[in-house]
């Protein structure tokens, strides 16, 4: 994550720096004020600058485009720069001059599926300000803050507090420092869209691909066994380019679609790769079915590419169904009737999609899910299909059946199940998921075994209290696990550690079915063994009451490591309130 953040900041600051809108602390009006004195605390510097502003000037600094204040020598500042998964089109960003493109990374849901911390290591003006909303994306504050002051729903000190925090950020970023001391102002166009960034984009796309089904090793495909044969690529996302950027994206240097990547990986192998749409993402137009069916009849391998796009799921667009689009399901059903070999299916989406039909039908040999994977998404999925990369992603979501939307009111946002709500997420969903959170297969096989002494199983709550110097980090024990690759292919493994509270622990609030308390991702060669460990802290066992207080109860707690290891521990002694209701501060 730290690498990604650094790359995003480099791009934002470099592109912004081209406008040459930095404070002049050498000779401008600001130079005689404490704001330019680097020896002073940042909050003191910010407070002094704010004290020199009029009310109107203060309000002008609380919105997306903070206005220049010429009399103070303060230049305009554009807060709105997008970098959700790479530099994106936004008011503070433009692609022109020497910067014509920037690396487009996968969407966050794809990062989430990687389970790789090293990769991802992300009512009124009065109410908003009092809640700590210091900056308004837009101009609501600009239009209504003066009225809030006049009606005395806020006071000037509320504005000052918000501005002190935002200017403190600019000071800490070095915006008021001499140019030669600002690291990001020394960067050039050569620091944008680097080889490192491109490789990281491909790596993260591959790591987030999730193999959900693989009957009889339908994947990976062996190119040496496909000589003089035909691969049919069918479906609306097979030639996806911009679609794989999801939302909030910028201008990528290139966009590699699956068709292009698959053709590239089969070049020189006498393999005939053909593509037809078959259908669009959504709608009712079946005019492309006949071409798809005819191609499928003549193919030795059929791969269907489907999923969703931004016309179905995006900001301001709420989904009313989580079923696979009817048009895609209809095409799959027709392909199923004419294709003799197992059909491979690839689904691209940014949220859950009921895949029950593909999961249950023996005519579909494999099923892959991937998020919107960025500029190299096509190459990433091609590498997985042909075994150049061994998938290890895990679902970062629970995939519910299509009927779930009818079982839960859109006005009921409770997590815990009730009479009219089956619950939400892997922690509380009581129904049968299509695919559970954390599901994901590999082309190889891993074996887990305990590597540390597991003799002690009982722990005294009283002894845990004695170590309560930190309300959260009181260690109960560390679980050490040996992971061995006993398969025939090198690859990564994602190990998930859950804790499950016995229902006999407490007769009160509905408890989570299980809770993730640790995960790790490691790479293992054939027959290689590595050790991973997961510390189980008291915080992982605390039960939260409706008033926000946290309690520790005696009873049995089961630790689950992947699908292979289970370890029961027992806490004994009186139940205690471990932490009172947390108080939030606006300071």
Q: Which two structure tokens, joined as six digits, stand for 191?
A: 């620091």
Domain span at residue 120 reads 2-191
DSSP state of 213: E
User: Of the residues 363, 394, 425, which one is the last residue of a structural domain?
Assistant: 394
pLDDT at residue 113 is higher than 90: no
Contacts with 573 (C-beta within 8 Å, 6 or more apart), sequence order = 460, 461, 462, 554
Do 177 and 39 lie in one domain? The reply is yes
DSSP state of 284: S
pLDDT at 90: 63
Half-sphere exposure for 386 (CA within 13 Å, toward CB):
21
> For residue range 7-60, what is the model confidence (pLDDT) as tens digits?
444 444 444 444 357 899 988 899 999 999 999 999 999 999 999 999 999 999
The residues facing 448 across adjacent strands are: 483
Q: Is the peptide bond before 511 cis (omega within 30 degrees of 0)?
A: no
> For residue range 487-499, what is the model confidence (pLDDT) as tens digits?
999 999 999 999 9
Q: Which residues of 405-425 are buried (b: 16+ CB within 10 A; e: fewer)?
A: beebeeeeeeeebeeebbbbe
Do 185 and 227 lie in one domain? The reply is no
Nearest partner of 83 among 6, 187, 19, judged by Cα: 6
- Confidence band of 2 (pLDDT split at 50, 70, 90): very low
Q: What is the CATH number of the domain that holds 548?
A: 2.60.40.10
User: Of the residues 140, 158, 191, which one is the last residue of a structural domain?
Assistant: 191
> For residue range 261-278, what is the model confidence (pLDDT) as tens digits?
999 999 998 999 999 999
Do 228 and 359 lie in one domain? The reply is yes
Contact 176, 25 (CB under 8 A): yes
Question: Cβ of 462: how many Cβ atoms within 10 Å?
Answer: 11
pLDDT at 48: 94
**Portion of the chain with pLDDT greater than 90, in percent:** 60
Q: Is residue 204 part of a domain?
A: no
Do 184 and 279 lie in one domain? The reply is no
pLDDT at 366: 99
- Whole-structure pTM value: 0.86
pLDDT at residue 116 is higher than 70: yes
Q: What is the CATH number of the domain that holds 259?
A: 3.40.50.1700
Nearest partner of 549 among 507, 580, 574, 512, judged by Cα: 580
Do 255 and 146 lie in one domain? The reply is no
Contact 155, 126 (CB under 8 A): no
Do 155 and 280 lie in one domain? The reply is no
Contact 279, 236 (CB under 8 A): yes
Q: Average pLDDT in the 203-224 region?
A: 97
pLDDT at 442: 98
Q: Is residue 439 part of a domain?
A: no
Q: Is residue 546 part of a domain?
A: yes
CA torsion, points 517, 523, 526, 531, in degrees to nearest 10? -50
Number of domains in the chain: 3
Do 177 and 213 lie in one domain? The reply is no
CA torsion, points 84, 90, 92, 94, in degrees to nearest 10? 110
Do 472 and 516 lie in one domain? The reply is yes
* Rounded distance between C-alpha atoms, residue 150 and residue 219, angstroms: 68
Of 156-165, 400-409, 574-583, the poorest mean pLDDT is in 574-583
**25 burial via Cβ count (<10 Å: 0-12, 13-18, 19+):** buried
* Rounded distance between C-alpha atoms, residue 36 and residue 310, angstroms: 46
| 77-78 and 458-460 beta bridge pairing | unpaired
H or E stretch at 4: helix 2-17
Half-sphere exposure for 344 (CA within 13 Å, toward CB):
24
> For residue range 361-413, what is the model confidence (pLDDT) as tens digits?
999 999 999 999 999 999 999 999 999 999 999 999 999 999 999 999 888 88
Contact 46, 35 (CB under 8 A): yes
The residues facing 82 across adjacent strands are: 88
Sequence-ordered strand ranges (E) for 318-410:
343-348, 364-370
The residues facing 531 across adjacent strands are: 482
Q: Average pLDDT in the 173-194 region?
A: 85
Do 184 and 213 lie in one domain? The reply is no
Phi and psi based region of residue 270 (left: phi greater than 0; alpha: psi -120 to 50; beta: remaining): left
User: Of the residues 394, 420, 455, which one is the last residue of a structural domain?
Assistant: 394
Q: Is residue 438 part of a domain?
A: no
Phi/psi at 93 (nearest 5 deg)? -135, 135
Do 149 and 215 lie in one domain? The reply is no
Contact 83, 12 (CB under 8 A): yes
Contacts with 465 (C-beta within 8 Å, 6 or more apart), sequence order = 576
Nearest partner of 129 among 165, 97, 94, 100, judged by Cα: 165
Question: Cβ of 352: how many Cβ atoms within 10 Å?
Answer: 22
Q: What is the largest CA-CA distance in the chain?
A: 80
- Confidence band of 194 (pLDDT split at 50, 70, 90): confident
Q: Hey, CA dihedral for 570, 573, 576, 578, is it positive or negative?
A: negative
Q: Is residue 158 part of a domain?
A: yes
> Average per-residue pLDDT in the chain?
88
> For residue range 483-526, what is the model confidence (pLDDT) as tens digits?
999 999 999 999 999 999 876 666 667 889 999 999 999 999 99
pLDDT at residue 125 is higher than 80: no
* Rounded distance between C-alpha atoms, residue 360 and residue 362, angstroms: 6
Contact 306, 329 (CB under 8 A): no
Q: Is residue 400 part of a domain?
A: no
pLDDT at 481: 96
**Portion of the chain with pLDDT greater than 70, in percent:** 88
Q: Average pLDDT in the 309-330 region?
A: 93
In DSSP notation, 564-583 reads TEEEEEEEES--EEEE-PPP
Q: Is residue 574 part of a domain?
A: yes
The residues facing 570 across adjacent strands are: 458, 556
- Taking the CA atoms of the chain, what radius of gyration do you get in angstroms? 28
pLDDT at 471: 53
- Confidence band of 227 (pLDDT split at 50, 70, 90): very high
Do 187 and 223 lie in one domain? The reply is no
pLDDT at 249: 83
Helices and strands, number each (H, E), in the chain: 17, 19
Do 169 and 277 lie in one domain? The reply is no
Q: Is residue 441 part of a domain?
A: no
């Amino acid at each position: 994550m730290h690498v990604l953040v650094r790359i995003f900041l480099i791009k934002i600051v470099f592109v912004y720096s081209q406008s040459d809108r930095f404070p002049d602390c050498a000779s401008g009006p600001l130079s005689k004020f404490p704001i330019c004195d680097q020896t002073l605390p940042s909050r003191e510097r910010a407070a002094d600058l704010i004290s020199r502003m009029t009310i109107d000037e203060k309000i002008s600094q609380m919105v997306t485009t903070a206005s220049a204040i010429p009399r103070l020598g303060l230049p305009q500042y554009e807060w709105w720069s997008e970098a959700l998964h790479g530099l994106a089109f936004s008011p503070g960003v433009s692609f022109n001059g020497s910067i014509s493109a920037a690396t487009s990374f996968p969407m966050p849901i794809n990062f989430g599926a990687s389970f790789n911390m090293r990769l991802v290591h992300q009512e009124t003006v009065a109410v908003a300000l009092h809640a700590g909303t210091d900056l308004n994306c837009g101009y609501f504050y600009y239009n209504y803050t003066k009225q809030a002051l006049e009606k005395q729903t806020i006071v000037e000190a509320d504005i000052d507090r918000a501005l002190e925090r935002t200017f403190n950020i600019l000071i800490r970023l070095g915006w008021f420092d001499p140019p030669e001391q600002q690291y990001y102002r020394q960067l050039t166009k050569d620091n944008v869209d680097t080889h490192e960034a491109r490789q990281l984009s491909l790596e993260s796309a591959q790591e987030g691909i999730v193999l959900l089904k693989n009957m009889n090793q339908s994947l990976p495909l062996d190119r040496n066994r496909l000589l003089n044969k035909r691969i049919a690529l069918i479906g609306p996302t097979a030639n996806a380019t911009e679609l794989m950027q999801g939302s909030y994206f910028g201008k990528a240097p290139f966009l590699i679609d699956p068709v292009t990547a698959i053709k590239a990986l089969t070049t020189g192998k006498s393999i005939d790769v053909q593509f037809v749409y078959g259908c669009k993402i959504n709608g009712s137009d079946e005019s492309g079915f006949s071409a798809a069916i005819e191609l499928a009849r003549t193919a030795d391998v059929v791969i269907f590419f489907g999923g969703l796009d931004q016309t179905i799921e995006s900001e301001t667009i709420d989904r009313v169904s989580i079923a696979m689009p009817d048009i895609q399901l209809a095409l799959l059903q027709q392909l199923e009737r004419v294709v003799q070999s197992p059909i491979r299916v690839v689904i691209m989406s940014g949220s859950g999609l009921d895949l029950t039909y593909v999961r249950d039908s023996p005519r579909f040999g494999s099923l892959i899910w991937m998020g919107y994977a960025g500029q190299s998404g096509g190459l990433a999925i091609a590498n997985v299909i042909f075994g150049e990369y061994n998938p290890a992603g895990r679902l970062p979501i629970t995939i519910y059946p299509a009927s779930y939307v009818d079982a839960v009111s859109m006005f009921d946002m409770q997590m815990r199940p009730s009479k009219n709500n089956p619950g939400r997420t892997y922690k509380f969903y009581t129904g049968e998921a299509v695919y559970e959170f954390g599901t994901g297969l590999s082309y190889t096989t891993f074996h887990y075994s305990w590597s540390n002494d597991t003799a002690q199983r009982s722990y005294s709550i009283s002894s845990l209290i004695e170590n309560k110097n930190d309300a959260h980090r009181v260690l109960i024990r560390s679980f050490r696990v040996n992971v061995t690759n006993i398969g025939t292919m090198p690859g990564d493994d994602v190990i998930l550690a859950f804790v499950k509270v016995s229902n006999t622990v407490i007769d009160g609030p509905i408890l989570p079915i299980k809770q993730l308390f640790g995960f790790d991702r490691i790479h293992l060669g054939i027959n290689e063994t590595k050790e991973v460990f997961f510390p189980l802290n008291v915080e992982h066992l605390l039960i939260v009451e409706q008033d926000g207080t946290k309690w520790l109860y005696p009873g049995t707690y089961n630790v689950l490591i992947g699908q292979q290891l289970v370890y029961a521990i027992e806490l004994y002694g009186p139940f205690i309130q471990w932490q009172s209701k947390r108080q939030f501060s606006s300071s």
